[in-house]
Structure 1
Amino acid sequence: MMAGLRERKKEQTRQRIAETALRLFAERGYDAVTVNEIAEAAGVAKVTLFSYFPGKESLVLDQIKDDYAAVVRNRPEGVPPLAALREHCRGIARRSAQAPVETLLTRVQVIATSPALMSKVHQTDVTEREELVAALEAAMPDAGVVPRLMAAQIIAVITTLQETFFQRLFQGEPLENAGRLLEEEVEVAFDLLERGLTSTERAGS
């Protein structure tokens, strides 16, 4: 029981630090706020902050990272990589309908207005894609360039789904509706990935 209490307190501290940082970044801009100021405002020592977040950018970006390579590596036996990724994205879509809208939009706005964070997002995307390539290559040995092509398409599709979801929220779409549409579009996206574009083109001709 004591271990559980300690974990809850640690999570509460982590959450308080992250929320404080996001508030200060939104008020003054990412570049104008120092780690010392965040620690002081959150009521923790600087060393404590770094024990939860390894760098300033992680105060914002840790909440948006996703390990797609791990989804592929840890999928149940007999489940194809795309099926595992589809189920993972279904879960993300379901949880999105319960997320705090203001926090989501504030985080996106802070990232979008900071060249440093946008650069870090791009670097993270590249890293995630390369890790996914490696996971797919392990799942599909001797498949040549196919895993790399698949990873590029998967990351592009997921990024587009996320961007569309946030655009709807910024345009005033209620979270429940935006979440429902995201769930539907996850299915459309993975149908396209699994079946290819040709069948869709034929259906629309």
Structure 2
Amino acid sequence: MTGLRERKKAQTRHRITEAALRLFAERGFDAVTMTEIAAAADVSRASLFGYFPTKESLVVQDVGDDDLAAVVRDRPAGQDPVAALRGHYRVVAAEAPTGAEIEGLLARIRVIVDNPKLGAAAHTLRHRQRAALTAALAPAYGERAAELVAGQIAAAALTIQEAYFRRLADGVAPGEAARALAADVELAFDLLARGTRALTDTDAPVPGDGPIRGGA
């Protein structure tokens, strides 16, 4: 029963999101009310607010939701933090959407880009994610270096994501865009691994040693 209940909740959440994005695309984010979204999704206002406490959360629900700090904290003993994060982003790339959900993803990105309030909300969520990552990296790199490394990781991740979304928006086939995303992950973490080499206490080779993949 628990599995069925969770599936129904996921379906309702998806239906609400689809209805909201459709209305936002038609009329603009600011012109749509939560009451109208509830009606379009065929749910009560109370149910809608149970899933999404604010209108902004309908759009930025997935921004900064990767628990990168937990990836670092829970890594195997002796593993470099950057190597653990590389593994995480490899999984993200392998699970990149290739089906009907791509249109919804692009619709959400367009709404965020077109609305400064949503852009600011997304920035705040990413800032919180980066702050948590900084704290998790501090035992390995020291507080100041951890802040700089977290900033580099956040910038690399955002750049990779933007390149992936841009390819999809330009009509690149989903499978090809996913393969390019995976290649970008390897290149980015090759560069990050080299940058953090001097901060580690081990003489073990840094993952990604050798020619940088994707380089000239």
- State whether TM-score is above 0.5: yes
In the alignment, is the contact (CA less than 8 A) between 1:53 and 1:59 conserved in 2?
yes
Q: Which runs of 5+ in 1 are unaligned?
A: none
Change (3 A) 1:127 1:115: same
Partner of 1:70: 70
Shift of 1:187: 0.5
Identity %: 50
Root-mean-square deviation over aligned CA pairs:
2.3
Distance in 2 (CA, whole Å) between partners of 1:128 and 1:98 is 26
Partner of 2:84: 84
- Where 1:63 maps in the other structure, the secondary structure is coil
Change (3 A) 1:153 1:36: same
Shift of 1:197: 9.7
Distance in 2 (CA, whole Å) between partners of 1:197 and 1:3 is 44
Shift of 1:88: 1.1
Distance in 2 (CA, whole Å) between partners of 1:169 and 1:156 is 20
Output the amino acid matched with 1:150.
Answer: V
Change (3 A) 1:25 1:172: same
Shift of 1:141: 5.7
- Where 1:145 maps in the other structure, the secondary structure is helix
- Which runs of at least 4 in structure 1 moved beyond 3 Å after TM superposition? 197-201
Deviations 1:35-92 (A, max 9, x none): 1111111111111111111211111111333221222223333332211211111111
TM-score (norm: length of structure 2)? 0.85
Distance in 2 (CA, whole Å) between partners of 1:170 and 1:20 is 21
TM-score (norm: length of structure 1)? 0.89
Change (3 A) 1:70 1:145: same
Distance in 1 (CA, whole Å) between partners of 2:140 and 2:49 is 40
Output the amino acid matched with 1:41.
Answer: A
Output the amino acid matched with 1:148.
Answer: E
Distance in 2 (CA, whole Å) between partners of 1:21 and 1:194 is 41
Aligned residue runs from structure 1 range 1-205, under 5 A: 2-64=1-63, 65-99=65-99, 100-137=101-138, 140=139, 143-196=142-195
More displaced stretch, 102-111 vs 142-151: 142-151
- Where 2:55 maps in the other structure, the secondary structure is coil
Distance in 1 (CA, whole Å) between partners of 2:6 and 2:15 is 14
Deviations 1:131-150 (A, max 9, x none): 1111112xx26724111111
Distance in 2 (CA, whole Å) between partners of 1:142 and 1:164 is 29
Change (3 A) 1:176 1:23: same
Change (3 A) 1:54 1:70: farther
Output the amino acid matched with 1:80.
Answer: D
